[in-house]
Structure 1
Amino acid sequence: MEGNIYENNSAEEHTFATLPSDQEKWCDQERQAGRQTPQRGGQRRPHCHLYCLVTICVVLQIAGLCAWICMYSKNNAGIQDLDAKVSALKAKDSQINAGIQDLDDKVSALNVKVLMEISGWKRFGRKVYYLSKTTITWEMARVQCITMGATLAMVKTEEELKFLANAIAQPYWVGLSDLGTEGNWKWLDGTSPASGMWTPGEPNNAGEEDCGEVVKKLNDVSCGQQRHWICEKSSVI
Protein backbone atom coordinates (compact mmCIF):
# COMPACT_ATOMS: atom_id res chain seq x y z
CA MET A 1 0.00 0.00 0.00
CA GLU A 2 2.74 2.36 0.87
CA GLY A 3 4.41 1.64 -2.38
CA ASN A 4 1.29 2.57 -4.29
CA ILE A 5 0.88 5.77 -2.33
CA TYR A 6 4.37 6.85 -3.22
CA GLU A 7 3.83 5.89 -6.74
CA ASN A 8 0.66 8.00 -6.86
CA ASN A 9 2.47 10.90 -5.27
CA SER A 10 5.25 10.64 -7.80
CA ALA A 11 2.73 10.66 -10.63
CA GLU A 12 0.96 13.74 -9.26
CA GLU A 13 4.27 15.51 -8.79
CA HIS A 14 5.19 14.64 -12.36
CA THR A 15 1.83 15.98 -13.58
CA PHE A 16 2.19 19.16 -11.63
CA ALA A 17 5.74 19.52 -12.88
CA THR A 18 4.71 19.22 -16.52
CA LEU A 19 1.71 21.60 -16.31
CA PRO A 20 2.74 25.24 -16.70
CA SER A 21 1.91 27.62 -13.93
CA ASP A 22 0.02 30.91 -14.53
CA GLN A 23 3.26 32.77 -14.29
CA GLU A 24 4.83 30.67 -16.94
CA LYS A 25 1.79 31.12 -19.23
CA TRP A 26 2.02 34.85 -18.73
CA CYS A 27 5.71 34.80 -19.53
CA ASP A 28 5.04 32.81 -22.66
CA GLN A 29 2.41 35.32 -23.77
CA GLU A 30 4.81 38.17 -23.13
CA ARG A 31 7.50 36.48 -25.14
CA GLN A 32 5.10 35.89 -28.01
CA ALA A 33 3.91 39.50 -27.83
CA GLY A 34 7.50 40.62 -27.79
CA ARG A 35 8.23 38.62 -30.92
CA GLN A 36 5.14 39.87 -32.76
CA THR A 37 5.44 43.57 -31.85
CA PRO A 38 8.62 44.19 -33.87
CA GLN A 39 7.07 42.36 -36.81
CA ARG A 40 4.01 44.66 -36.74
CA GLY A 41 6.20 47.72 -36.46
CA GLY A 42 8.34 46.50 -39.34
CA GLN A 43 5.24 46.04 -41.51
CA ARG A 44 4.01 49.63 -40.89
CA ARG A 45 7.31 51.41 -41.76
CA PRO A 46 7.34 50.41 -45.50
CA HIS A 47 3.77 51.71 -45.89
CA CYS A 48 4.75 55.06 -44.36
CA HIS A 49 7.74 55.37 -46.68
CA LEU A 50 5.51 54.64 -49.70
CA TYR A 51 3.01 57.30 -48.68
CA CYS A 52 5.78 59.86 -48.32
CA LEU A 53 7.24 58.95 -51.71
CA VAL A 54 3.85 59.24 -53.44
CA THR A 55 3.20 62.58 -51.74
CA ILE A 56 6.58 63.94 -52.86
CA CYS A 57 5.92 62.78 -56.43
CA VAL A 58 2.51 64.46 -56.46
CA VAL A 59 3.95 67.69 -55.08
CA LEU A 60 6.73 67.65 -57.68
CA GLN A 61 4.21 67.06 -60.47
CA ILE A 62 2.02 69.93 -59.27
CA ALA A 63 5.04 72.22 -59.01
CA GLY A 64 6.15 71.22 -62.52
CA LEU A 65 2.66 71.82 -63.88
CA CYS A 66 2.52 75.26 -62.26
CA ALA A 67 5.94 76.12 -63.70
CA TRP A 68 4.83 74.96 -67.15
CA ILE A 69 1.63 77.03 -66.95
CA CYS A 70 3.61 80.12 -65.94
CA MET A 71 6.09 79.59 -68.74
CA TYR A 72 3.30 78.99 -71.28
CA SER A 73 1.50 82.14 -70.16
CA LYS A 74 4.66 84.21 -70.52
CA ASN A 75 5.44 82.72 -73.94
CA ASN A 76 1.86 83.24 -75.10
CA ALA A 77 1.92 86.87 -73.95
CA GLY A 78 5.24 87.32 -75.76
CA ILE A 79 3.82 85.83 -78.96
CA GLN A 80 0.77 88.09 -78.81
CA ASP A 81 2.99 91.11 -78.28
CA LEU A 82 5.14 90.05 -81.23
CA ASP A 83 2.05 89.55 -83.41
CA ALA A 84 0.84 93.04 -82.50
CA LYS A 85 4.21 94.52 -83.44
CA VAL A 86 4.23 92.60 -86.74
CA SER A 87 0.71 93.86 -87.52
CA ALA A 88 1.77 97.42 -86.74
CA LEU A 89 4.81 97.07 -89.01
CA LYS A 90 2.63 95.67 -91.80
CA ALA A 91 0.22 98.58 -91.46
CA LYS A 92 3.10 101.04 -91.53
CA ASP A 93 4.57 99.23 -94.54
CA SER A 94 1.23 99.49 -96.33
CA GLN A 95 1.12 103.22 -95.63
CA ILE A 96 4.66 103.63 -96.93
CA ASN A 97 3.83 101.63 -100.06
CA ALA A 98 0.70 103.72 -100.59
CA GLY A 99 2.77 106.88 -100.22
CA ILE A 100 5.37 105.56 -102.66
CA GLN A 101 2.64 104.64 -105.15
CA ASP A 102 1.08 108.08 -104.82
CA LEU A 103 4.48 109.69 -105.35
CA ASP A 104 5.10 107.48 -108.39
CA ASP A 105 1.73 108.50 -109.82
CA LYS A 106 2.53 112.17 -109.33
CA VAL A 107 5.96 111.77 -110.90
CA SER A 108 4.45 109.87 -113.83
CA ALA A 109 1.79 112.55 -114.27
CA LEU A 110 4.45 115.25 -114.18
CA ASN A 111 6.58 113.37 -116.70
CA VAL A 112 3.60 112.94 -119.00
CA LYS A 113 2.74 116.61 -118.65
CA VAL A 114 6.30 117.64 -119.46
CA LEU A 115 6.43 115.29 -122.44
CA MET A 116 3.10 116.58 -123.69
CA GLU A 117 4.25 120.17 -123.38
CA ILE A 118 7.47 119.37 -125.21
CA SER A 119 5.62 117.54 -127.98
CA GLY A 120 2.96 120.24 -128.34
CA TRP A 121 0.14 118.64 -126.27
CA LYS A 122 -1.69 120.64 -123.59
CA ARG A 123 -3.98 119.27 -120.92
CA PHE A 124 -7.32 120.65 -119.85
CA GLY A 125 -9.83 118.75 -117.75
CA ARG A 126 -10.12 115.23 -119.09
CA LYS A 127 -8.65 116.04 -122.49
CA VAL A 128 -5.27 116.76 -124.02
CA TYR A 129 -4.87 118.95 -127.09
CA TYR A 130 -2.25 119.09 -129.79
CA LEU A 131 -1.68 122.53 -131.33
CA SER A 132 -0.06 122.18 -134.73
CA LYS A 133 2.82 124.30 -135.96
CA THR A 134 1.95 123.88 -139.61
CA THR A 135 -1.08 124.75 -141.73
CA ILE A 136 -3.19 122.39 -143.88
CA THR A 137 -6.78 122.09 -145.16
CA TRP A 138 -9.64 121.04 -142.91
CA GLU A 139 -9.92 117.52 -144.40
CA MET A 140 -6.15 116.96 -144.16
CA ALA A 141 -6.25 118.16 -140.55
CA ARG A 142 -9.03 115.65 -139.78
CA VAL A 143 -6.98 112.80 -141.27
CA GLN A 144 -3.79 113.96 -139.52
CA CYS A 145 -5.51 113.85 -136.12
CA ILE A 146 -6.76 110.32 -136.85
CA THR A 147 -3.19 109.16 -137.59
CA MET A 148 -2.18 110.56 -134.18
CA GLY A 149 -4.88 108.52 -132.43
CA ALA A 150 -6.96 111.63 -131.85
CA THR A 151 -9.68 113.69 -133.53
CA LEU A 152 -10.13 117.30 -134.55
CA ALA A 153 -11.05 119.20 -131.39
CA MET A 154 -14.72 119.39 -130.46
CA VAL A 155 -15.27 122.36 -128.16
CA LYS A 156 -18.32 121.62 -126.04
CA THR A 157 -18.17 124.11 -123.15
CA GLU A 158 -17.45 127.79 -122.62
CA GLU A 159 -14.56 126.86 -120.29
CA GLU A 160 -12.96 124.71 -122.96
CA LEU A 161 -13.40 127.48 -125.54
CA LYS A 162 -11.73 130.02 -123.23
CA PHE A 163 -8.83 127.64 -122.59
CA LEU A 164 -8.17 127.17 -126.33
CA ALA A 165 -8.69 130.85 -127.12
CA ASN A 166 -6.04 131.76 -124.53
CA ALA A 167 -3.62 129.15 -125.96
CA ILE A 168 -3.74 130.40 -129.58
CA ALA A 169 -3.30 133.74 -131.34
CA GLN A 170 -4.50 132.79 -134.83
CA PRO A 171 -7.25 130.63 -136.40
CA TYR A 172 -7.13 126.83 -135.86
CA TRP A 173 -9.29 124.16 -137.47
CA VAL A 174 -11.72 122.35 -135.13
CA GLY A 175 -13.94 119.34 -135.81
CA LEU A 176 -17.03 121.28 -136.87
CA SER A 177 -18.79 121.47 -140.28
CA ASP A 178 -22.10 121.51 -142.14
CA LEU A 179 -20.84 119.26 -144.92
CA GLY A 180 -23.64 116.78 -144.27
CA THR A 181 -26.50 119.26 -144.55
CA GLU A 182 -26.08 122.91 -145.44
CA GLY A 183 -26.69 125.13 -142.43
CA ASN A 184 -26.85 122.19 -140.00
CA TRP A 185 -23.58 122.51 -138.13
CA LYS A 186 -22.35 119.40 -136.29
CA TRP A 187 -19.32 118.34 -134.38
CA LEU A 188 -17.64 115.17 -135.62
CA ASP A 189 -19.51 113.13 -133.01
CA GLY A 190 -22.88 114.37 -134.37
CA THR A 191 -23.71 116.86 -131.59
CA SER A 192 -24.56 120.53 -132.26
CA PRO A 193 -22.49 123.49 -130.95
CA ALA A 194 -24.05 125.86 -128.44
CA SER A 195 -25.27 129.06 -130.11
CA GLY A 196 -23.43 131.32 -127.66
CA MET A 197 -20.07 129.92 -128.78
CA TRP A 198 -20.23 131.50 -132.27
CA THR A 199 -18.66 134.81 -133.14
CA PRO A 200 -21.48 137.36 -133.47
CA GLY A 201 -23.00 137.18 -136.97
CA GLU A 202 -21.60 133.70 -137.63
CA PRO A 203 -22.05 131.28 -139.27
CA ASN A 204 -22.90 133.35 -142.37
CA ASN A 205 -21.80 130.94 -145.15
CA ALA A 206 -20.10 133.72 -147.06
CA GLY A 207 -18.46 131.94 -150.04
CA GLU A 208 -19.29 128.31 -149.29
CA GLU A 209 -17.96 128.30 -145.72
CA ASP A 210 -18.66 124.76 -144.57
CA CYS A 211 -15.88 124.12 -141.99
CA GLY A 212 -15.31 125.53 -138.54
CA GLU A 213 -12.36 127.31 -136.99
CA VAL A 214 -11.69 128.91 -133.63
CA VAL A 215 -9.89 132.13 -132.71
CA LYS A 216 -11.67 133.67 -129.76
CA LYS A 217 -14.94 132.01 -130.70
CA LEU A 218 -16.24 129.77 -133.47
CA ASN A 219 -16.33 130.91 -137.09
CA ASP A 220 -17.23 129.31 -140.42
CA VAL A 221 -14.67 129.33 -143.26
CA SER A 222 -14.02 127.60 -146.57
CA CYS A 223 -12.72 124.04 -146.02
CA GLY A 224 -9.90 124.52 -148.57
CA GLN A 225 -8.23 127.29 -146.60
CA GLN A 226 -4.88 126.65 -144.91
CA ARG A 227 -5.11 126.73 -141.15
CA HIS A 228 -3.32 125.42 -138.08
CA TRP A 229 -5.29 122.62 -136.41
CA ILE A 230 -6.12 121.32 -132.98
CA CYS A 231 -6.32 117.59 -132.19
CA GLU A 232 -7.84 116.24 -128.97
CA LYS A 233 -8.03 112.93 -127.14
CA SER A 234 -9.00 111.72 -123.69
CA SER A 235 -6.43 112.25 -120.99
CA VAL A 236 -4.80 109.11 -119.57
CA ILE A 237 -3.96 110.79 -116.22
Structure 2
Amino acid sequence: MCNSLYLLLVLCVTSSLAMEKIISEDSSDTSCNSPFVWMMVKHLDRTDTKLNKVQSLSHQNHIAINNMKGKIVNDEVTEIKSLLNGIQKKMRNMQFEIDNLKRRCSTNPGDWVLFSGHNYMFVYKKVTWNIAKIDCQQKGGYLAKVESGAENSWLISVMKDEVWIGLNDIQSEGQWKWISDNTGISFSYWPSNQPSSKRRENCVQYCKERCGMKSYGWNDESCGSRMGYVCEKQLEHS
Protein backbone atom coordinates (compact mmCIF):
# COMPACT_ATOMS: atom_id res chain seq x y z
CA MET A 1 0.00 0.00 0.00
CA CYS A 2 2.86 2.34 0.79
CA ASN A 3 4.29 1.71 -2.66
CA SER A 4 0.96 2.63 -4.32
CA LEU A 5 0.84 5.82 -2.32
CA TYR A 6 4.36 6.69 -3.40
CA LEU A 7 3.49 6.03 -7.08
CA LEU A 8 0.45 8.27 -6.99
CA LEU A 9 2.44 11.05 -5.39
CA VAL A 10 4.96 10.78 -8.22
CA LEU A 11 2.15 10.97 -10.76
CA CYS A 12 0.71 14.05 -9.09
CA VAL A 13 4.07 15.76 -9.17
CA THR A 14 4.49 14.78 -12.82
CA SER A 15 1.07 16.22 -13.69
CA SER A 16 1.89 19.42 -11.90
CA LEU A 17 5.14 19.76 -13.85
CA ALA A 18 3.26 19.10 -17.08
CA MET A 19 0.79 21.88 -16.26
CA GLU A 20 3.61 24.31 -15.59
CA LYS A 21 5.10 23.47 -18.96
CA ILE A 22 1.80 24.11 -20.74
CA ILE A 23 1.38 27.43 -18.98
CA SER A 24 4.88 28.53 -19.85
CA GLU A 25 4.42 27.60 -23.52
CA ASP A 26 1.17 29.45 -24.13
CA SER A 27 -0.49 31.54 -21.46
CA SER A 28 -1.69 34.44 -23.63
CA ASP A 29 -5.16 33.09 -24.35
CA THR A 30 -7.06 32.36 -21.15
CA SER A 31 -10.61 32.41 -22.55
CA CYS A 32 -13.00 29.52 -21.98
CA ASN A 33 -12.77 28.49 -25.62
CA SER A 34 -9.00 28.34 -25.58
CA PRO A 35 -7.52 24.84 -26.07
CA PHE A 36 -4.93 25.82 -23.52
CA VAL A 37 -7.56 26.39 -20.86
CA TRP A 38 -9.34 23.10 -21.58
CA MET A 39 -6.08 21.22 -21.49
CA MET A 40 -5.24 22.84 -18.15
CA VAL A 41 -8.67 21.94 -16.77
CA LYS A 42 -8.23 18.32 -17.80
CA HIS A 43 -4.88 18.20 -16.13
CA LEU A 44 -6.37 19.76 -13.01
CA ASP A 45 -9.17 17.17 -12.96
CA ARG A 46 -6.71 14.35 -13.35
CA THR A 47 -4.47 15.78 -10.70
CA ASP A 48 -7.41 16.28 -8.34
CA THR A 49 -8.50 12.70 -8.89
CA LYS A 50 -5.01 11.52 -8.19
CA LEU A 51 -4.81 13.69 -5.08
CA ASN A 52 -8.08 12.21 -3.85
CA LYS A 53 -6.64 8.76 -4.33
CA VAL A 54 -3.52 9.85 -2.51
CA GLN A 55 -5.60 11.10 0.42
CA SER A 56 -7.64 7.91 0.44
CA LEU A 57 -4.54 5.76 0.35
CA SER A 58 -2.95 7.93 3.00
CA HIS A 59 -5.95 7.37 5.28
CA GLN A 60 -5.85 3.64 4.61
CA ASN A 61 -2.13 3.61 5.33
CA HIS A 62 -2.74 5.48 8.56
CA ILE A 63 -5.32 2.88 9.61
CA ALA A 64 -2.98 0.10 8.55
CA ILE A 65 -0.13 1.65 10.53
CA ASN A 66 -2.36 1.97 13.59
CA ASN A 67 -3.40 -1.64 13.18
CA MET A 68 0.23 -2.58 12.90
CA LYS A 69 0.95 -0.59 16.05
CA GLY A 70 -1.90 -2.38 17.76
CA LYS A 71 -0.50 -5.71 16.66
CA ILE A 72 2.94 -4.69 17.86
CA VAL A 73 1.48 -3.64 21.20
CA ASN A 74 -0.50 -6.88 21.46
CA ASP A 75 2.60 -8.89 20.61
CA GLU A 76 4.59 -6.99 23.23
CA VAL A 77 1.84 -7.54 25.82
CA THR A 78 1.73 -11.25 24.97
CA GLU A 79 5.50 -11.48 25.28
CA ILE A 80 5.48 -9.62 28.61
CA LYS A 81 2.68 -11.86 29.92
CA SER A 82 4.69 -14.91 28.90
CA LEU A 83 7.77 -13.56 30.66
CA LEU A 84 5.72 -12.74 33.78
CA ASN A 85 4.20 -16.23 33.80
CA GLY A 86 7.69 -17.69 33.56
CA ILE A 87 8.92 -15.47 36.39
CA GLN A 88 5.89 -16.33 38.54
CA LYS A 89 6.47 -20.04 37.92
CA LYS A 90 10.12 -19.67 38.93
CA MET A 91 9.08 -17.70 42.02
CA ARG A 92 6.58 -20.42 42.98
CA ASN A 93 9.29 -23.05 42.58
CA MET A 94 11.68 -20.92 44.64
CA GLN A 95 9.04 -20.46 47.34
CA PHE A 96 8.47 -24.22 47.37
CA GLU A 97 12.20 -24.78 47.86
CA ILE A 98 12.34 -22.10 50.56
CA ASP A 99 9.39 -23.69 52.39
CA ASN A 100 11.10 -27.08 52.21
CA LEU A 101 14.32 -25.55 53.48
CA LYS A 102 12.48 -23.85 56.34
CA ARG A 103 10.88 -27.14 57.28
CA ARG A 104 14.24 -28.88 57.15
CA CYS A 105 16.02 -26.10 59.01
CA SER A 106 13.37 -25.43 61.62
CA THR A 107 14.79 -25.22 65.11
CA ASN A 108 11.49 -26.02 66.82
CA PRO A 109 11.63 -28.85 69.36
CA GLY A 110 11.11 -32.24 67.77
CA ASP A 111 12.42 -31.21 64.35
CA TRP A 112 15.59 -32.65 62.85
CA VAL A 113 17.72 -30.14 60.98
CA LEU A 114 19.95 -31.19 58.10
CA PHE A 115 23.50 -29.90 57.82
CA SER A 116 26.45 -31.38 55.95
CA GLY A 117 25.17 -34.95 55.88
CA HIS A 118 24.04 -35.01 59.52
CA ASN A 119 20.74 -34.34 61.27
CA TYR A 120 20.54 -32.18 64.38
CA MET A 121 17.78 -31.66 66.89
CA PHE A 122 17.74 -28.64 69.19
CA VAL A 123 15.85 -29.23 72.43
CA TYR A 124 15.49 -26.34 74.86
CA LYS A 125 13.92 -28.21 77.74
CA LYS A 126 16.29 -27.70 80.66
CA VAL A 127 17.78 -30.99 81.80
CA THR A 128 21.05 -32.34 83.20
CA TRP A 129 23.78 -33.59 80.87
CA ASN A 130 23.03 -37.24 81.67
CA ILE A 131 19.32 -36.83 80.93
CA ALA A 132 20.21 -35.06 77.67
CA LYS A 133 22.51 -37.97 76.76
CA ILE A 134 19.74 -40.52 77.38
CA ASP A 135 17.13 -38.46 75.48
CA CYS A 136 19.40 -38.26 72.46
CA GLN A 137 19.97 -42.02 72.53
CA GLN A 138 16.21 -42.59 72.65
CA LYS A 139 15.86 -40.34 69.61
CA GLY A 140 18.38 -42.47 67.72
CA GLY A 141 21.24 -40.02 68.06
CA TYR A 142 23.85 -38.71 70.49
CA LEU A 143 24.85 -35.41 72.04
CA ALA A 144 26.43 -33.40 69.25
CA LYS A 145 30.05 -33.96 68.28
CA VAL A 146 31.53 -30.76 66.84
CA GLU A 147 34.34 -31.62 64.44
CA SER A 148 34.98 -28.50 62.35
CA GLY A 149 34.82 -24.72 62.27
CA ALA A 150 32.03 -24.86 59.68
CA GLU A 151 29.90 -27.13 61.85
CA ASN A 152 30.61 -25.00 64.92
CA SER A 153 29.67 -21.76 63.11
CA TRP A 154 26.45 -23.30 61.79
CA LEU A 155 25.40 -24.56 65.22
CA ILE A 156 25.98 -21.13 66.73
CA SER A 157 24.03 -19.45 63.94
CA VAL A 158 20.87 -21.48 64.55
CA MET A 159 20.80 -22.15 68.31
CA LYS A 160 18.42 -20.09 70.41
CA ASP A 161 19.83 -20.76 73.86
CA GLU A 162 22.69 -22.39 75.71
CA VAL A 163 22.85 -26.16 75.09
CA TRP A 164 24.78 -29.26 76.09
CA ILE A 165 27.03 -31.01 73.58
CA GLY A 166 28.69 -34.43 73.84
CA LEU A 167 32.15 -33.36 75.01
CA ASN A 168 33.14 -34.39 78.57
CA ASP A 169 36.04 -35.44 80.81
CA ILE A 170 34.03 -37.61 83.18
CA GLN A 171 36.34 -40.63 82.91
CA SER A 172 39.62 -38.75 83.31
CA GLU A 173 40.03 -35.15 84.41
CA GLY A 174 41.35 -32.97 81.59
CA GLN A 175 41.00 -35.74 78.99
CA TRP A 176 38.16 -34.39 76.85
CA LYS A 177 36.31 -36.95 74.78
CA TRP A 178 33.13 -37.18 72.74
CA ILE A 179 30.35 -39.35 74.11
CA SER A 180 29.44 -40.59 70.62
CA ASP A 181 32.65 -42.54 69.94
CA ASN A 182 34.97 -41.85 72.91
CA THR A 183 37.45 -39.99 70.68
CA GLY A 184 39.46 -36.93 71.64
CA ILE A 185 39.02 -33.45 70.20
CA SER A 186 40.54 -32.44 66.88
CA PHE A 187 38.69 -29.11 66.88
CA SER A 188 37.92 -26.86 69.85
CA TYR A 189 36.17 -23.58 70.52
CA TRP A 190 37.24 -22.72 74.04
CA PRO A 191 37.35 -19.04 75.00
CA SER A 192 40.67 -17.82 76.39
CA ASN A 193 39.72 -18.65 80.00
CA GLN A 194 38.28 -22.10 79.26
CA PRO A 195 38.24 -24.90 80.12
CA SER A 196 38.56 -23.88 83.73
CA SER A 197 39.43 -27.51 84.61
CA LYS A 198 37.49 -27.49 87.85
CA ARG A 199 37.04 -31.03 89.10
CA ARG A 200 33.24 -30.79 89.22
CA GLU A 201 32.89 -29.22 85.76
CA ASN A 202 33.08 -32.27 83.53
CA CYS A 203 30.49 -31.56 80.80
CA VAL A 204 30.60 -29.04 77.97
CA GLN A 205 27.98 -26.60 76.84
CA TYR A 206 27.67 -23.71 74.42
CA CYS A 207 27.71 -20.77 76.80
CA LYS A 208 27.04 -17.05 76.43
CA GLU A 209 25.06 -15.15 79.11
CA ARG A 210 26.01 -17.65 81.82
CA CYS A 211 29.66 -16.98 81.00
CA GLY A 212 29.31 -13.23 80.53
CA MET A 213 30.21 -13.45 76.82
CA LYS A 214 28.78 -11.62 73.81
CA SER A 215 28.81 -14.71 71.61
CA TYR A 216 28.62 -18.47 72.15
CA GLY A 217 31.70 -20.45 73.10
CA TRP A 218 32.49 -23.74 74.79
CA ASN A 219 32.39 -23.90 78.57
CA ASP A 220 32.99 -26.75 80.98
CA GLU A 221 30.11 -26.89 83.40
CA SER A 222 28.80 -29.10 86.18
CA CYS A 223 26.99 -32.04 84.58
CA GLY A 224 24.15 -31.53 87.08
CA SER A 225 23.32 -28.07 85.71
CA ARG A 226 20.15 -27.80 83.69
CA MET A 227 19.91 -26.47 80.14
CA GLY A 228 18.88 -27.45 76.65
CA TYR A 229 20.86 -29.77 74.40
CA VAL A 230 21.57 -30.56 70.76
CA CYS A 231 21.39 -34.13 69.43
CA GLU A 232 23.08 -35.35 66.29
CA LYS A 233 22.72 -38.38 64.04
CA GLN A 234 24.07 -39.36 60.67
CA LEU A 235 21.78 -39.70 57.71
CA GLU A 236 20.61 -43.22 57.04
CA HIS A 237 21.73 -44.46 53.62
CA SER A 238 19.55 -46.94 51.80
Based on CA coordinates, which of the two structures has the bigger radius of gyration? 1
Write 1 or 2 for the structure with the bigger share of helix.
1
